[in-house]
Chains A and B, each alone.
Chain A
Amino acid sequence: MNIDALVEYISTTPLLWLLITLGSFKLGIIIYEKSNKNTLLQPIIVAYFLIMGALVVSGVSYQEYFKSVEIIHFFLGPATVALALPLYNNLKHIKILFIPILITLFVAGVFSIVLAVSLLWVLGAQLPTILSMTTKSITAPIAIITSEKIGAIPSLAVGFVIITGIIGALLGTTIFKMLNIKHDTSKGFALGVISHGIGTARALEISEKAAAFSALAMGLSGIVTAIFLPLIIQIFS
């Protein structure tokens, strides 16, 4: 037996961390489904704590971990391109309410970013945190690649994206009831603009129409934010 060769293999192969990452995510999915799709038990959150535990126990640094699983990270690119298809499939709804959609997309999109950023600024947060907050309402793959462009911290940005998604999905229905929102299209659109994919999953429980408008909102706000945000930040800096 050659123990040294085995240890050498295990400590250098990317397979180990790929297996831990995929396995943790699969476990996350199983727990999420067993919990009747509890919003707080998103598969990625369960996976996150499992992988963090493995990293802490093994003493492997984040840089080493990232190198092992970089192939997963690579697929963010094609996945972002893939978002064109659900957007295309829901594009027909844009005609029904073109003006409300256009105005809400821009006004609410800007309002949401300005509000979150001002709150951070007033409470004394530093610039990297503030920049990482600007992509909080767009779908995570676009948020990651956009945050890399604007000098934000991608990992913080993803964290903010996921938490924003969960808060919107948890409180959306209560907020809509309190404000007496009449149309499912408005509920879905708001969930998509503010809470991206997690909000869209929630909108599916309201109605099919709400889900369609949520998917539409998520695609449009992702594109609009990725185009204008880097420009605006460049002008200010």
Chain B
Amino acid sequence: MLKGIITLLLFQFLGECISKLFDLLVPGPVIGMLLLLVFLIIRKSSFESLDNAVLIHLRYLPLLFIPAAMGIITQLDIITKEFWAISISLVFGTIIALAFCAKLMDYLTIRTENKK
């Protein structure tokens, strides 16, 4: 699995370097992700060691955001003050956006099928 881990870290490193060098606003790891995607497309397949390294990172993905997520305890002020604005935006924003997205995709899919 070492080869897979090196691959992930190497692509992250490349992504961060490119982001810094060209003063990009895109986060380095996202550039690394794009580069790895292009690499896989050119290579036409993944390899076992990379599959394993990816699995170990994604299997416990939510664990990785706990350090950042715990920071909410320093934001209780904002949350209590803007509780209703946040709640309404989250609940209604999500419901309406999900409905809109599904309907749009369904409409476009049916239109594409009818053309064929």
| B1-37 residues at the A interface, CB under 8 angstroms | 5, 8-9, 11-12, 15-16, 25-30, 32-34, 36-37
Produce 1/0 per residue, B40-71, CB < 8 A to A.
Answer: 11000010001101100110111111111111
Given contacts A140-B65, A194-B97, A194-B98, contact A226 B71 (CB under 8 A): no
Provide the residues of chain A in CB contact with B30, threshold 8 Å: 80, 142, 145-146, 222-223, 226-227
CB distance from A182 to the nearest CB of B (A): 6
Within 8 A of A (CB), among B59-87: 60-75, 78-79, 82, 84-86
Q: What separation, in Å, do the CA atoms of A181 and B105 have in the docked complex?
A: 9
Could you tell me the dominant secondary structure of chain B's interface residues? helix
| 10 extra A-B contacts, CB within 8 A, seeds A80-B12, A137-B97, A140-B61 | A77-B12, A84-B40, A88-B40, A128-B78, A142-B29, A144-B68, A156-B78, A168-B94, A185-B105, A195-B98
**Interface positions of B (Cβ within 8 A of A):** 5, 8-9, 11-12, 15-16, 25-30, 32-34, 36-37, 40-41, 46, 50-51, 53-54, 57-58, 60-75, 78-79, 82, 84-86, 88-106, 108-112
